[in-house]
Amino acid sequence: MNKQFLNIIFSIFFSILISVGIIELIVRNIVDNGMNYDLEMMKYAKNLKIISNDKKIGIEHKKNKTLKLMGAEIILNSNGFRNIEEIDLNRKKILMIGDSMTFGWGAKKTFSDVLENKLDRKYQVLNAGIGNTNTIMQISNFFKNHSNYDYDYIILNFFINDLENVEIKNINFLQNNFYSYTYVRSKVINLLIKLGFLSDWKNFYIDTFNNHDLINETFNEIIRLKNFCDKKNISFLIHNIPELYDMKNYKFNDQTMKIQNFAADNNISFINSFESLASYDEKDLWVSISDTHANDKAHEIIGDFLFKKIFQK
């Protein structure tokens, strides 16, 4: 191998290194404005989550952590709940189980906070929501880590992707250290979706309801939670949170009905906050144009809905 060829290889390598460095600086200093969904999700995974030793749980929250994500300060207490306060053994308790919609991604005030305030703090509403988890993971986490407290209510908050088969992977070196990797990767995935090589959000959600083995396992876990609540004299109900995109032409009524019918067949109370949100302009309910998680206004509406449906009733 002659010296000239080595110089060419070195020049190419050095040019690539410089280019990557420039892109990384641009992403960190310009793109990363604190409201980029993919970058904020990367920070969430890196700083507030751990991979559980229990494969069925998959993901747990770290404890006693604080971080600003999507413009909202996230405070995790010693249980990993999104609550400023620790568990108060002298107050009645409501436990919220769910994913990022329950956790309150991008919201400064979650529907758990809203409900607690409407109840004049007579109840402590504990937010056990964890992003990127499915119902099986959430219930498994409850039984291992949170079932030893006295609850008056347990509310399983179901979102359309909570039947997703979540694959737990360790964060690799690039994901952990390069913002540009996450940013470019998300752009490539979006391009592949537009070109039809990957499922779009609508088909992805619908496809999760075709995994009958996972559906049966999920329903069995919900029944296990329901039986636990019956034995402990805890009021248990399922709360369906709708996808907030294209609500005027909602595409998941059939899927929602499957959950509702399952609840009815097993004597589980079921409520659906779609009815409280459908009349609003959907863009007024989003965290941002590129992030259709529920914002503070949507959480306020959902919290008021839960108060009226459960407690005023």
CATH no. for residue 107? 3.40.50.1110
Say whether pLDDT at 247 is over 70.
yes
Q: What percent of the chain has pLDDT over 70?
A: 97
How far apart, in Å, are the Cα atoms of 76 and each of 83, 192, 275? 6, 35, 31
In this structure, are 10 and 40 located in the same domain?
no
Q: Which of 53-57, 165-169, 239-243 comes out lowest in average pLDDT? A: 165-169
Q: Which of 62-71, 157-166, 190-199 comes out lowest in average pLDDT? A: 190-199
Task: Give the residue-averaged pLDDT of 176-183.
Answer: 86
In this structure, are 202 and 254 located in the same domain?
yes
In this structure, are 137 and 116 located in the same domain?
yes
Quote the domain boundaries for residue 182. 35-312
Contact at 8 Å (CB) between 98 and 241? yes
The model carries a pTM of 0.93
- pLDDT for 58 equals 96
In this structure, are 159 and 273 located in the same domain?
yes
- pLDDT for 7 equals 67
Of residues 250 and 3, more confidently modeled: 250
Closest CA to 247 of 276, 287, 271: 276
Say whether pLDDT at 76 is over 80.
yes
CA dist 22 and 39 (Å) reads: 17
Tokens of 21: 């460095």
Say whether pLDDT at 173 is over 80.
no
Contact at 8 Å (CB) between 107 and 299? yes
Closest CA to 31 of 40, 20, 44: 40
In this structure, are 191 and 214 located in the same domain?
yes
- pLDDT for 239 equals 98
Q: Which amino acid is at 5?
A: F
Could you tell me the pLDDT band of residue 1, with boundaries at 50, 70 and 90? low
CA dist 198 and 260 (Å) reads: 29
In this structure, are 195 and 79 located in the same domain?
yes
Q: What is the crossing angle of helices 179-194 and 37-48, to 10°?
A: 130
Q: Considering the chain, what is the average pLDDT of its residues?
A: 92
Kindly report each contact of residues 1-7 with a partner whose C-beta sits within 8 Å and lies 24 or more positions away, as own/partner: none
For the chain, the DSSP string reads: --HHHHHHHHHHHHHHHHHHHHHHHHIIIII-SS--HHHHHHHHHHHHEEE-SSTTT-EEE-SSEEEEETTEEEEE-TTS-S-SSPP-TTSEEEEEE-SHHHHTTT-SS-HHHHHHHHTTTSEEEEE---TT--HHHHHHHIIIIITTS--SEEEEEEETTTT--PPP----HHHHH-HHHHHHHHHHHHHHHHTTSS--HHHHHHHHTT-HHHHHHHHHHHHHHHHHHHHHT-EEEEEEE---SSGGG-S-HHHHHHHHHHHHHTT-EEEETHHHHTTS-GGGGEEETTEEEE-HHHHHHHHHHHIIIIII-
In this structure, are 157 and 169 located in the same domain?
yes
- Domain count of the chain? 2
Q: What percent of the chain has pLDDT over 90?
A: 74
Say whether pLDDT at 160 is over 80.
yes
In this structure, are 148 and 255 located in the same domain?
yes
Q: How do residues 6-56 score in pLDDT, each as one tens digit?
A: 666 767 777 777 877 888 788 888 888 999 999 999 999 999 999 999 999
In this structure, are 3 and 114 located in the same domain?
no
Q: How do residues 267-306 score in pLDDT, each as one tens digit?
A: 999 999 999 999 999 999 999 998 999 999 999 999 999 9
Could you tell me the pLDDT band of residue 113, with boundaries at 50, 70 and 90? very high
- pLDDT for 181 equals 86
In this structure, are 6 and 152 located in the same domain?
no
Q: Which amino acid is at 106?
A: G
CA dist 88 and 201 (Å) reads: 40
- pLDDT for 5 equals 65
In this structure, are 154 and 289 located in the same domain?
yes
Q: How do residues 224-237 score in pLDDT, each as one tens digit?
A: 999 999 999 999 99
In this structure, are 90 and 12 located in the same domain?
no
